[in-house]
Structure 1
């Protein structure tokens, strides 16, 4: 799920992103990531269906530079990371929280190594359960605070499924309301969706999205 539940296919306000990034001190220093950040850039770009030139334009960078970053030949500056984070509604820390590069990191995500995809400022805390952003689907651990409500209904070109680990969540699919409780599961594809936690404790869900939207 997107942190701010935006439609993954909707246009991004580059001007708004630029304003947000401009409010922070500029930093053109290249970050050190052994190519991991570039791989994230590529996965995020492909998830949105953007070409190299489309993302390069949003970053005010050349296609050649972006291609080198995605292939791990060059490293982006912190300013570039901030811009990409804003474009995809991710915290900057997401790009610097990779698991240690070990043989198991390609397959396993330890509980203490989950990558945060949002904070609790909007009543929804998400972390990535998949080893990376590539692949045909992504798995997200989502915690909905009591009273948290989807800012607006969303539609995505995806097939999604979920399982309620704890608590309860009201899911609205095409104006049909479903009260989900611990142990319940769901699936939808292409419908208009919204949600609200009307329970008395946080709702904890596992959410699977195909293809990835982050």
Structure 2
């Protein structure tokens, strides 16, 4: 059986996002303080408990979820906040089809739940859908050739709003079943990402020159 490493229900995802919508996002984008005591007080203001720092601060929310405030170092700006909703890992490639089926079913349930809260996404598609959005990840955003070889990110939905400093919300599913064009045991994930809109726009301009 595949190993289930994260399993937040669609209802828990909605509850988490309901709290995130009301967050003071400019303060989040500015970054958590580097000082340990000040950082703990900063987190408490959001109802978060600091856990550890690894490529960004990890925090526990009042709803029991875990957020990753992505940043280069303590005290640096946060361009994105990630919440892993669901993840499963295959023991071998024979389980890949089963992991993919589980991921697809959970994806549909999460997307339907988010539609009830956020409405229809402004973009919704798969790795081969024209107009795939250019949203920054930890590294370079996978281009068309990468997606064609790996079919990852496998599915993406994006919600954009006109409220200043409001996050660009992204629901993303990766299958993680290909490396160097060869099948590997799947490491599938569904992640809700909250992007700093200014960072999204600046990275897009960099790519276009």
What TM-score comes out, normalization by structure 1 length?
A: 0.27
More strand by proportion, 1 or 2?
2
TM-score, normalising length: structure 2: 0.28
Structure in which a larger fraction of residues adopt helix: 2
